[in-house]
Amino acid sequence: MNEDAHISIVGLPASGKTTYLAALWHMVREPGANTNLHFTSLKTSNYEHLNTLAKLWRSGKIQQRTQTSGLRTVIMTLGNAEGREVEISFPDIPGEDFSDMWEKREVDESVRKTLSARDIVLIVNGDTIKLPAWVAERNKMTQDAGLPIIDNEPVDWSPNFSPTQVKLVALLQFLMSETLNVGPRRVAILISAWDKVEGEQLSPTEIMSTKLPLLFQYLQSGRDPWDWEVWGVSAQGGDYEDPEKDQHFAVTDALRDLDRPSDRIKIVRDAAVTSDITLPLAWLMK
Ligand SMILES: Nc1nc2c(ncn2[C@@H]2O[C@H](COP(=O)(O)OP(=O)(O)OP(=O)(O)O)[C@@H](O)[C@H]2O)c(=O)[nH]1
Ligand SMILES: [Mg+2]
């Protein structure tokens, strides 16, 4: 195996990492599914854990938050038609560890190892992008709407209040830093929950340039030598129900009614739409 072919999946809390894994695991094993990459072997983790994730995904239930570290890192090997293989790590760390890295400037040994894989999939939840908010702008909107401006108590600033794109750029800069010293790298940016943003009729690149302009400009300027590409990814096809809240959505029913669960998946790159969830991984292998 080409020892360079190693991909890590990273993303902030609730960005969609576990959901992507669940859908990927289902799809690379679904009989008759037509994917660029096929399943070869599991290096770490057990089938039972992955099957539980995929079962939840098929039944239209959201995944539990990834709580603890160190128990269930998944390392999966996928292969392409030319017989090349790639090792993909889904580090078993909650998204908070990625935020902490930036907020506290701390990175523990297992995370460091994960981040040293040359190729990265960075998942960004398109539905929960935290935009920069200006108090003056908010006050003007309130005023324009004819509402009284309420003087709220000042709140102490915390790094956690920062816009999503600030955290992501800091994360990518860290990945390029001398601390890791990996050299030129490739990153596939997946804007997840694409079903929630596709109504805006913008391409994934356009969503990135309008909602995450700092991230877009950082990558486009070539300040750090990233080879990058953006996809819109709907790993669910729509909202799933939270089993803890006893929810029932018509949209989830419609998704469950599809003949093949993989038909829920949508992978968008420019104008091209497919259900092959392995495409961004195949691009990273090129
Ligand atoms: N509508 C929609 N929601 C999605 C999609 N993918 C993920 N989500 C939602 O995004 C939320 C977070 O998904 P997870 O997969 O648990 O995210 P995570 O990155 O593993 O989160 P942590 O483990 O907590 O860091 C859940 O509520 C998902 O249902 C999608 O394709 N469509
Ligand atoms: Mg998770």
What is the tens place of the pLDDT at every residue in 197-237? 999 999 999 999 999 999 999 999 999 999 999 999 999 99
Distance 40 CA to ligand 2 centre (A): 23
Give the pLDDT confidence of 95-118 residue by residue, as tens digits: 777 777 777 767 777 778 778 889
DSSP states of 30-84 as a string?
STT---SSEEEEEEES-HHHHHHHHHHHHTTBPPPP---SSS--EEEEEE-TTS-
Ligand 1 atom at shortest distance from the alpha carbon of 22: 15
Query: Which pLDDT value is given to residue 267?
Result: 98
Q: Which residue has the higher pLDDT, 277 or 72?
A: 277
**By the 8 A CB rule, do 143 and 211 touch?**
no
Query: Which pLDDT value is given to residue 50?
Result: 92
What is the token pair recorded at 175?
């990945």
Query: Which pLDDT value is given to residue 2?
Result: 46
Decide: 11 in ligand 1 pocket, CB within 6 A.
yes
Residue nearest to atom 3 of ligand 1 (CA): 193
What is the token pair recorded at 26?
């289902």
Cα 168-125-8 angle, rounded to 5 deg = 60
Pairing label, strands 85-90, 74-79: antiparallel
Distance 270 CA to ligand 2 centre (A): 27
Phi-psi domain of 265 (left: phi exceeds 0; alpha: psi -120 through 50; beta: other): beta
User: What's the CA gap between 91 and 73, in Å, rounded?
Assistant: 5
